[in-house]
Amino acid sequence: MTDTTYTGFGDKALPFLKALGFHQNREWFHENKPIFEEHLNEPRGRLIDDLAVRLAEKKIPLTCSRKASTFRINRDVRFAKEKHPYNTHVSAVITRSGTKKDQGLLYFHVSPDESFLAVGFYSMESDEVRAFREAIVARKDQFDVALKPLTALGFAFDRENSLKRTPRGFEDITDPEIVDLLRLRHLTLSRRFSPDRLEGTALLDDLTELAIAAQPFLNFGWRVIDPVRAARDEPNR
């Protein structure tokens, strides 16, 4: 395997993000920007570079790049109720195209409050969500098998934004486990990780392990939503 350049986030990474929560102004950020670059931004870039190489070596159909896969530290406050200008976390996505708009992703989130890894399908279009729900009902056994590698690693579905009622068209479903899945707005699973995973190559190893374990679930979802997207993108005849 290719040698890695990623050796972990800096020891000032989390303290910087915590302090940034108290100092939400341009002057403080620019005065301390060298800390951000050295302890957070550059390590994140090296992590992404090395992960892309590992994924390619293992022939996993996911990739990432510093330019396309990372989220800015500056917040877009145009339509936000809270107007503080900076995020207090750093993050990135890993997708088939390496861009943030692609469905079927891995995600990592580094924060002093809650760091976590995530995987799945987030903010799908309504026709994609419906097709996914129909596939779960029709092929629940296959869906369960696809999830096993992820649940074995401690990943669980994110239920914070679940619907309170079963979506229209599925009211006759009575199996409580299936109903619970049908009410999910996003088909994403996550797992928190402790600050010590930011040291050495631990996070790189965790993301590689996640990418391998996620393949059955991502393949299940891609087989569902790719035809939906293809039909939508066809020019009207």
Model pLDDT for residues 173-222, shown as the tens digit of each residue: 999 999 999 999 999 999 999 999 999 999 999 999 999 999 999 999 99
**Residue 229 CB neighbours (<10 A):** 16
Over the stretch 88-144, which tens digit does the pLDDT of each residue have?
999 999 999 999 989 999 999 999 999 999 999 999 999 999 999 999 999 999 999
Q: How confident is the model at residue 2 (pLDDT cuts 50, 70, 90)?
A: low
The upper half-sphere exposure of residue 63, i.e. CA atoms within 13 Å in the direction of its Cβ, equals: 12
pTM here is: 0.93
The phi and psi torsions of 117 (rounded to 5 degrees) equal: -110, 150
Contacts of 193 (CB under 8 A, 6+ apart): 115, 116, 117, 203, 206
Task: Looking at mean pLDDT, say which of 159-168, 202-211, 222-231 comes out highest.
Answer: 202-211
